[in-house]
Amino acid sequence: MESGAPTSVAPSASVTVQVNGTAAQLLVRLMQDLGAEDPMAVLTRALGMLDQGLAARRQGRRLGVYDPASQRFMDLVI
């Protein structure tokens, strides 16, 4: 957000975000992979994951992917 922009937005408010071509292509691919018809469905999930990751880091926990076949845990970089 721009300097001087509000730090909180009402849940019913809308915000316009401009993305570059790479981000737009990724968004379209993720929409297809998830079967989502609305880009906001993907963005909401992605922002929710980021929020969970940051909360885990603040609490000294880890967020990652566990592979039971190899019994390896890979931390997600946030």
Q: How far apart are alpha carbons 45 and 49 in whole angstroms?
A: 6
pLDDT at 4: 54
For residue range 30-77, what is the model confidence (pLDDT) as tens digits?
999 999 999 999 999 999 999 998 999 999 998 899 999 999 999 987
Nearest to 17 by CA among 52, 56, 51, 46: 46
As a whole number, mean pLDDT of residues 6-10 equals 70
Residue 5 has pLDDT above 60, yes or no: no
Output the six-digit token pair for 41: 């469905």
pTM of the model: 0.70
Higher-confidence residue: 11 or 1? 11
CA 37 and chain centroid, separation:
17
Give the CA dihedral 21, 39, 47, 72, nearest 10 degrees: -80
* Whether the predicted pLDDT of 2 surpasses 60: no
So what's the pLDDT on residue 21? Answer: 96
